[in-house]
Amino acid sequence: MMEQQEASPDVVMTRIGQAIMLLHGGDREEARNRFGALWAEIGERGDALHRCTLAHYMADTQDDPGDELVWDLRALSAAQVLTDERAAQHRDALAVRAFYPSLHLNLAADYVKLRRPAAARIHLDRAWQASAVLADDDADDGYGGGVRAAIGRLERRLLEL
């Protein structure tokens, strides 16, 4: 009989999750404050899963597109050193390669806001390429389809620039 191992509780991911709930609940300022406090604790050299997740959501709390870009670049940088083994230690994590479509989509959106269409196109193309690893709509919780739809919407918006 195989014994199931349960992942140890990750207090930092729990705290990040609480801030995400605030963000999704509409309290961007409090979410930003909590993400900022957590970032001060974990810093640029902290656990890659923590940095990637926190930076990905911290970007969404920014008012300035330049600041949003900085956080999205931090998320991508952390993902580049994140291993599937580390990601698998968190119960809700996807395989690392499944992070890339969303990370590149966010960067493309940042560059659109900053009116830098050439940079936006580079990341939009990378998002499309990376989306090949996402499951079909029927096979997952809609994440893959949602990301692909968002890439398509941004592509149409980029054509208008």
pLDDT, position 82: 85
pLDDT, position 86: 73
* Residue 149 pLDDT greater than 80, yes or no: yes
Model pLDDT for residues 3-27, shown as the tens digit of each residue: 444 444 689 999 999 999 999 999 9
Query: pLDDT-based confidence at 133, cuts 50/70/90?
Result: confident
Cα–Cα distance, 103 to 73 (Å, whole number):
8
Residue 75 near residue 52 (C-beta atoms within 8 A): yes
pLDDT, position 136: 66
* Residue 85 pLDDT greater than 90, yes or no: no
pLDDT, position 93: 55
DSSP string for the chain = -PPPPPPPP-HHHHHHHHHHHHHHTT-HHHHHHHHHHHHHHH-TTS-HHHHHHHHHHHHTT-SSHHHHHHHHHHHHHHHTT--HHHHHTSTTPPPGGGTHHHHHHHHHHHHHHTT-HHHHHHHHHHHHHHGGGSPPGGGSSSHHHHHHHHHHHHHHHHHT-
pLDDT, position 71: 98
Cα–Cα distance, 75 to 95 (Å, whole number):
15
